[in-house]
């Protein structure tokens, strides 16, 4: 899953991006509203963490322009804990908000929940045969035992599991799993699929030649 962080305070932006990366997300960053809007409308993000007070275009203005084009889930960050601000943000198209200062753990939980809900997934667990994908713990169990997937392998399994029964194209994988800073070597999807099959079973991921991959429902 790929997340955009639009936040002009460098330290906070870096710590948010690092925490999200450590949780296995592909993450892009932006330090102003105009660039954030450009990225938000140009790429397929699974969620956007959007600061309200930004130079140039405000977070709320960015959100209003984004909503004319895309329903990407948005978590607004605000320094002001006023009810009217929350109402304005939610009415402006935000899906959730957090008041600064907040804990990184809570932000990560809210991002997970936003993405899960946007995919129509109400439960935190997806069971496919003897494999369980635990979206909250970000682990995959096989036969009840935790498996040793890398963060990138987990992200690919999660993407396939959230689309189970449907074709996931290579383009979707590139759009949702890799960010601007990824080098080409880490982008070898076939290698990740091969490693996942060794850990979760040969038949776990089905290849549709020339199209992509699918997890049976």
Q: Which residue ranges make up the site for Ca ion (CB under 5 A)?
A: 8, 51, 53
Contact between 198 and 111 under an 8 Å Cβ cutoff? The reply is no
Cβ neighbours of residue 59 under 8 Å, at least 6 residues apart? 6, 33, 50, 51, 52, 53, 76, 77
CB of 100 to Ca ion, least distance (A): 9
Question: In the complex with Ca ion, which residue's Cβ is closer, 30 or 132?
Answer: 30
CB of 194 to Ca ion, least distance (A): 43
- For residue 95, the minimal CB distance to Ca ion (Å) is 19
Closest to Ca ion by CB, 8 vs 175, is 8
Alpha-carbon separation of residue 150 from 138, 156, 209 (angstroms): 11, 10, 25
- b/e burial code for range 122-155 (CB count within 10 A of at least 16 → b): eeeebebeebbbebeebebbbeeeebebeebbbb
Q: State in angstroms the smallest separation of the CB of 29 from Ca ion.
A: 13
Count the Cβ atoms, other than its own, within 10 Å of residue 13: 18
Q: If you ran DSSP here, which 8-state letter would residue 124 be given?
A: S
Query: Which residue, 65 or 147, is less far from Ca ion as judged by CB?
Result: 65
* Dihedral, CA of residue 129, residue 135, residue 141 and residue 143, to nearest 10: -40
**Minimum gap (Å) between residue 35 Cβ and Ca ion:** 14
Residue number with CB closer to Ca ion (6 or 140): 6
Rank residues 102 and 186 by Cβ distance to Ca ion and give the closer one.
102
Task: Express the helix, strand and coil content of the chain in percent, nearest 5 each.
Answer: 40, 20, 35
Nearest position to Ca ion, beta carbon: 53
Beta-carbon count within 10 A of 69 CB = 10
**Shortest CB 108 distance to Ca ion, Å:** 20
- CB nearer Ca ion, residue 24 or residue 36: 36
């Amino acid at each position: 899953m790929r997340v955009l962080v639009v936040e002009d305070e460098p330290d906070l932006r870096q710590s948010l991006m690092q925490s999200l990366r450590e949780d296995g997300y592909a993450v892009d960053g932006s330090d102003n509203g105009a660039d954030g809007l450009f990225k938000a409308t140009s790429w397929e993000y699974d969620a956007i963490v959007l600061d309200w007070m930004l130079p140039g275009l405000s977070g709320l203005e960015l959100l209003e322009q984004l909503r004319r084009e895309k329903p990407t889930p948005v978590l607004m960050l605000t320094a002001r804990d006023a009810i009217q601000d929350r109402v304005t943000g939610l009415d402006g198209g935000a899906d959730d908000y957090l008041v600064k200062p907040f804990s990184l753990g809570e932000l990560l939980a809210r991002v997970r929940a936003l993405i899960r809900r946007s995919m129509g997934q109400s439960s935190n667990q997806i069971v496919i045969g003897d494999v369980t994908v635990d979206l909250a713990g970000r682990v995959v169990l096989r036969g009840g035992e935790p498996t040793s997937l890398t963060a990138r392998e987990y992200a690919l399994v999660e993407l396939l599991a959230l689309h189970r029964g449907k074709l996931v194209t290579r383009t979707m994988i590139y759009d949702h799993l890799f960010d601007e800073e990824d080098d080409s070597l880490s982008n070898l999807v076939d290698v990740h699929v091969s490693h996942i099959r060794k850990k979760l079973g040969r038949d776990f991921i089905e290849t549709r030649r020339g199209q992509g991959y699918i997890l049976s429902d």
